[in-house]
């Protein structure tokens, strides 16, 4: 009897182990399992929380109008890169996944995306696809991704606070110096009780710095890296002049006391509360602002003028391990079709993934959207193979550099800039 | 016929213990087998895989290429890891001392059975029931300068004039993290020490008191020596846990400010999941494992 019991328990453990080991294809949003050829296919998709609203709208509309279905999983932005890495290592990537466009060169070089060159070539509107996203999704003349969402950095100003501070509510700043003046005025006039601040930025967030500070460098005609993305030019006057202006704002306490500690997750949360006069914001948040709030939108400028933007957002591709490539492509190509771009994206004031549709029936209703759409051609998306580990990673060299430049010891900058270059070349 | 029977009988009598022994041996193996399979699949196999990974350049997708010992030799060139080693050791030393003192203090406070003592024991232990990552997030919210309730409370009581930068400077970030760890683990360690305290026979205390020993003498000459095995267990748990610290720094301080609170495991995580250097991360893990095994062996010998 005892022997039988022991035998049964051993068999049980083996069965459990086998089940645990063999369960890799099905659950967890993996890309495994082939679907029956004639039935509808459900593909899995991952996106990050930062662009969740746009992805959800696209998926909802697609699921409503198509036989094939998309099952969307939204992952917290901070954990997105590690989740992709872990899933790739375990060959558990979903059928399609969106990724921050600046990480795409690294992902393509790691072989995470499927080559879709031939499929893209057949799209009648392929020349209208957002050029910066297409450039970063191309490796050795092969294409791997399509633009998914576009998120541009622009300055938002609060017209009510401008009015109360005696500034012209209809005129936003045209230069970074003017931006600083406006922020200082609002802080001096309205910031006495500590609730209203002139401006705000993510002072402990590498990604926030590149998204909001770099456009001022580009607007002034400068560059932050060489074209190959292997050398940092952040020690050049074009960048250090921008840092100086923000440093001055922080020292005057016009930035809000927590700017130095802001790690990123909440940096866009203060403006909609009506607490900030003027600040750089992601264009995707325009549609999420309180309806009764009067907001002006203007391009980010350099210290003495010019205008530019960081063309961020997500690209999307089919994972290299997907077994549902055809169904995945059906969804991907639909997301950049006229129908999806105009009736889903433009209708919700989002920037379009296609430049040929920039002027459409919805964008014309709001001049701010027209302005944002027009910036796509003027902005930049920096290219570097080691972008994430250098600029976004909280332990990367860029955040140390930016924090010393704005809050700390500027004599350390040359050495820290060399660290950035070293990281880019790893 | 009789002889035959006898022979057979003798043979049977002779071979019975051997057959039983064999059968018991097989049974023993079978009883051990489930555990052996679990240990093999969940512990030995991943360990072997990590060691193998550390000897290779291991991409996210595609073929690994053997590159030993490159992943090990480059560790010294990783300034973040070298800094993290010093920081983690400092954190371990402070945490272990403060945590042990706090846990021992709590255990002494609640060791006697008095009315209502159950309430205090439960209250001290309760933070231990909160998940560690959740506790770190809770502290992040409580101490947040924008929306946390602690700063307004301190200001309204007149203790501080302006919001305290709880994680704004390296020293404050370390202090706040250690406070979190003490809050979360003191009750659990108290429980461990309480079992040790209650295992000390009351007669020993009575004998000491009748010999005229004062409270301090009882504590240093009776309680501490007899508590030694339990203290050793707590120390090993605390040191090992602190050297493997991750959640509190990842969630609460995010390694900041300015990389001042980056623990060793955070560097492993960064190398694996931000830099996609799986081989390098595996090498760091192996080094960490060897150091931990060595340190624990040393501690067990010293504290036995």
Is position A202 within any domain? yes
The answer to whether A339 and A47 have CB atoms below 8 angstroms apart is no
Is A12 in the B-facing interface, judged by CB distances under 8 Å? yes
Counted domains in chain A: 2
State which H helix or E strand residue A208 sits in: helix A206-219
Q: Which residue from B minimizes the CA distance to A84?
A: B273
Judgement on whether residues A393 and A272 belong to the same structural domain of the protein: yes
Output the six-digit token pair for A378. 């003027």
pLDDT in tens, B217-234: 999 999 999 999 999 999
pTM for this predicted structure = 0.81
What residues does A296 pair with on adjacent strands?
A157
Is B30 in the A-facing interface, judged by CB distances under 8 Å? yes
Residue among B130, B148, B300, B167 at smallest CA distance from B229: B300
Residue contact A266–B146, C-beta within 8 A: yes
Give the gap in angstroms from C-alpha B242 to the nearest C-alpha of chain A. 20
Residue contact B273–A85, C-beta within 8 A: yes
pLDDT in tens, B57-110: 998 888 889 998 999 999 988 889 999 999 999 999 999 999 999 999 999 999
Q: What is the CATH T-level fold of the domain B73-303, as seen in this structure?
A: MetI-like fold (1.10.3720)
Judgement on whether residues A295 and A318 belong to the same structural domain of the protein: no
- The single residue listed with the structure tokens 């001055």 is A248
Q: CB neighbours of B203 closer than 8 A, spacing ≥ 6?
A: none
Is position A371 within any domain? yes
Q: Where are the domains of chain B?
A: 2-54, 73-303
Give the gap in angstroms from C-alpha B268 to the nearest C-alpha of chain A. 12
Buried b (16+ CB within 10 A) or exposed e, A383-406: bbbbbbbbbbbbbbbbbbbbbbbb
What residues does A354 pair with on adjacent strands?
A129
Nearest to A388 among B262, B269, B274 (CB): B274
Structural Rg of chain A based on CA atoms: 24
Judgement on whether residues A85 and A128 belong to the same structural domain of the protein: yes
Judgement on whether residues A122 and A55 belong to the same structural domain of the protein: yes
Q: CB neighbours of A335 closer than 8 A, spacing ≥ 6?
A: A58, A62, A146, A148, A316, A353
The answer to whether A356 and A147 have CB atoms below 8 angstroms apart is no
Is B276 in the A-facing interface, judged by CB distances under 8 Å? yes
Is position A71 within any domain? yes
Confidence of residue B15 (pLDDT cuts 50, 70, 90): low
What mean pLDDT, rounded, does chain B reach? 90
Judgement on whether residues A139 and A165 belong to the same structural domain of the protein: no
Nearest to A400 among B34, B258, B266 (CB): B258
Output the six-digit token pair for B149. 């309730």
State which H helix or E strand residue A153 sits in: strand A146-158
Give the structural domain span for A189: 152-311+383-424
Is A79 in the B-facing interface, judged by CB distances under 8 Å? no
List of chain A residues whose C-beta atoms are within 8 Å of the C-beta of residue B259: 395, 400
Is A4 in the B-facing interface, judged by CB distances under 8 Å? no
Which pLDDT belongs to residue B16?
A: 63
DSSP-derived secondary structure letter, A36? P
Residue contact A320–B37, C-beta within 8 A: no
Residue contact B31–A204, C-beta within 8 A: no
Q: Which residue from B minimizes the CA distance to A195?
A: B146
Residue contact A110–B266, C-beta within 8 A: no
Question: CB burial class (10 A; 0-12, 13-18, 19+) of residue B66?
Answer: exposed
Q: Which residue from A minimizes the CA distance to B81?
A: A395
Residue among B97, B84, B123 at smallest CA distance from B238: B97
Is B39 in the A-facing interface, judged by CB distances under 8 Å? no
- Taking residue B160's Cβ as centre, other Cβ atoms within 10 Å add up to 13
Is position A17 within any domain? no
Is position A418 within any domain? yes
Chain A, 142-201: which have a CB under 8 Å from a chain B CB?
none
User: Vertex B244, ends B242 and B249: CA angle to 5°?
Assistant: 80
Is position A10 within any domain? no
Is B80 in the A-facing interface, judged by CB distances under 8 Å? yes
DSSP-derived secondary structure letter, A350? P
- The single residue listed with the structure tokens 């209708």 is A347
Judgement on whether residues A273 and A316 belong to the same structural domain of the protein: no
Reported ipTM: 0.76
pLDDT in tens, B139-198: 999 998 878 899 999 999 999 988 898 998 999 999 999 999 999 999 999 999 999 999
**Full pLDDT tens readout for chain A, 426 residues:** 444 433 333 334 333 333 333 333 333 333 333 444 567 999 999 999 888 889 999 999 999 999 999 999 999 887 888 899 899 988 899 999 999 999 999 999 999 999 999 999 999 999 989 988 999 999 999 999 999 999 999 999 999 999 999 999 999 999 999 999 999 999 999 998 888 999 999 999 999 999 999 999 999 999 999 999 999 999 999 999 999 999 999 999 999 878 998 888 889 999 999 999 999 999 988 888 999 999 999 999 999 999 999 999 999 999 999 999 999 999 999 999 999 999 999 988 888 899 888 888 887 788 888 888 888 878 899 999 999 999 998 899 999 999 999 999 999 999 999 999 999 998
Q: Which residue from B minimizes the CA distance to A111?
A: B61
Which pLDDT belongs to residue A363?
A: 78
Chain A, 97-126: which have a CB under 8 Å from a chain B CB?
106, 110-112
Q: Which residue from B minimizes the CA distance to A261?
A: B168
Question: CB burial class (10 A; 0-12, 13-18, 19+) of residue B150?
Answer: middle
Residue contact A112–B61, C-beta within 8 A: yes
Is position A29 within any domain? no
Judgement on whether residues A368 and A407 belong to the same structural domain of the protein: no
Judgement on whether residues A307 and A390 belong to the same structural domain of the protein: yes
Q: Which residue from B minimizes the CA distance to A79?
A: B273
Q: Which residue from A minimizes the CA distance to B269?
A: A82
Judgement on whether residues A210 and A134 belong to the same structural domain of the protein: no
Is position A26 within any domain? no
Judgement on whether residues A76 and A189 belong to the same structural domain of the protein: no
Torsion of CA A60, A64, A68, A71, to 10 degrees: 30
Judgement on whether residues A184 and A218 belong to the same structural domain of the protein: yes
State which H helix or E strand residue A152 sits in: strand A146-158
Is A130 in the B-facing interface, judged by CB distances under 8 Å? no
The answer to whether A170 and A159 have CB atoms below 8 angstroms apart is yes
Judgement on whether residues A321 and A371 belong to the same structural domain of the protein: yes
- Taking residue A364's Cβ as centre, other Cβ atoms within 10 Å add up to 11
Which pLDDT belongs to residue A379?
A: 87
Residue contact B34–A111, C-beta within 8 A: no
Residue among A423, A340, A392, A422 at smallest CA distance from A100: A392
- Taking residue A206's Cβ as centre, other Cβ atoms within 10 Å add up to 25
Is B116 in the A-facing interface, judged by CB distances under 8 Å? no
């Amino acid at each position: 009897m005892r022997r039988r019991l022991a035998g049964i328990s051993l068999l049980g453990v083996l069965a459990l182990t086998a089940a645990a080991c063999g369960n890799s294809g099905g659950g967890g949003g993996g890309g495994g399992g082939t679907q029956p050829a004639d039935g509808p296919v459900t593909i899995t998709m991952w996106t990050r929380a930062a662009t969740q609203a746009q992805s959800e709208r696209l998926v909802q509309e697609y699921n409503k109008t198509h036989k094939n279905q998309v099952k969307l999983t939204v992952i917290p932005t901070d954990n997105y890169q590690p989740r992709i890495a872990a899933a790739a290592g375990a060959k558990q990537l979903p059928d399609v996944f969106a990724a921050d466009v600046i990480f795409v060169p690294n992902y393509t070089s790691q072989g995470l995306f499927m080559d879709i060159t031939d499929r893209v070539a057949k799209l009648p509107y392929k020349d209208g696809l957002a050029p910066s996203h297409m450039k970063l999704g191309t490796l050795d003349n092969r294409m791997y991704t399509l633009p998914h969402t576009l998120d541009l950095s622009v300055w938002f100003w609060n017209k009510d606070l401008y009015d109360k501070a005696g500034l012209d509510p209809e005129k936003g700043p045209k230069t970074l110096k003017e931006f600083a003046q406006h922020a200082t005025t609002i802080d001096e006039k309205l910031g006495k009780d500590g609730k209203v601040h002139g401006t705000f930025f993510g002072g402990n967030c590498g990604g926030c710095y590149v998204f909001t500070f770099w456009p001022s460098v580009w607007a002034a005609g400068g560059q932050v890296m060489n074209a190959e993305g292997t050398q940092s030019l952040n020690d050049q006057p074009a960048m250090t002049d921008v840092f100086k202006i923000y440093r001055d704002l922080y020292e005057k306490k016009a930035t809000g006391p927590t700017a130095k500690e802001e790690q990123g997750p909440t940096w866009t949360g203060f403006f909609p509360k009506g607490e900030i006069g003027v600040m750089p914001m992601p264009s995707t948040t325009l549609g999420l602002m309180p309806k009764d709030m009067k907001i002006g939108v203007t391009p980010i400028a350099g210290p003495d003028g010019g205008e530019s933007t960081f063309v961020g957002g997500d690209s999307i591709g089919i994972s290299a391990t997907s077994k549902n490539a055809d169904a995945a492509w059906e969804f991907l190509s639909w997301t950049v079709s006229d129908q999806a771009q105009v009736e889903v994206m433009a209708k919700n004031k989002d920037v379009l993934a296609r430049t040929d549709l920039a002027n459409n029936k919805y964008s014309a209703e709001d001049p701010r959207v027209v302005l944002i759409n027009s910036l796509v051609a003027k902005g930049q998306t920096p290219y570097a193979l080691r972008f994430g580990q250098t600029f976004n990673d909280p332990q990367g060299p860029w955040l140390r550099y930016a924090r010393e430049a704005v809050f700390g010891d500027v004599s350390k900058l040359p050495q820290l800039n060399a660290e950035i270059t070293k990281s880019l070349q790893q | 016929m009789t002889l035959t029977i006898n022979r057979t009988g003798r043979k049977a009598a002779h071979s019975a213990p051997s057959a039983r022994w064999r059968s018991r041996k097989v049974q023993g193996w079978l009883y051990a087998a489930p555990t052996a399979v679990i240990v093999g699949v969940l512990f030995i196999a991943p360990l072997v895989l990590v060691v193998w990974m550390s000897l290779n350049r291991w991409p996210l997708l595609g073929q690994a290429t053997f590159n030993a010992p490159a992943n090990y030799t480059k560790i010294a060139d990783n300034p973040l890891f070298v800094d993290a080693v010093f920081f983690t050791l400092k954190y371990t030393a402070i945490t272990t001392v403060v945590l042990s003192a706090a846990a021992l203090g709590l255990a002494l406070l609640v060791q006697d059975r008095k009315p209502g003592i159950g309430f205090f024991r439960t209250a001290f232990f309760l933070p231990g029931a909160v998940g560690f990552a959740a506790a770190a997030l809770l502290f992040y919210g409580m101490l947040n300068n924008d929306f946390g309730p602690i700063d307004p409370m301190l200001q309204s009581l007149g203790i501080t004039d302006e919001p305290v930068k709880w994680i704004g400077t390296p020293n404050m970030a370390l202090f706040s993290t250690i406070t979190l760890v003490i809050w979360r683990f003191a009750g659990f360690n108290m429980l461990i020490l309480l079992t040790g305290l209650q295992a000390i026979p009351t007669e020993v205390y009575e004998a000491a008191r009748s010999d005229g020993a004062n409270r301090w003498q009882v504590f240093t000459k009776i309680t501490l020596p007899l508590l030694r095995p339990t203290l050793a267990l707590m120390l090993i748990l605390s040191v090992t846990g602190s050297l493997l610290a991750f959640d509190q720094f990842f969630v609460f301080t995010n390694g900041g400010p300015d990389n001042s609170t980056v623990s060793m495991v955070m560097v492993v995580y960064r190398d694996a999941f931000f830099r996609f250097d799986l081989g390098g991360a595996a090498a760091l893990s192996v080094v960490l494992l060897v150091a931990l095994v060595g340190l624990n062996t040393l501690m067990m010998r010293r504290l036995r």
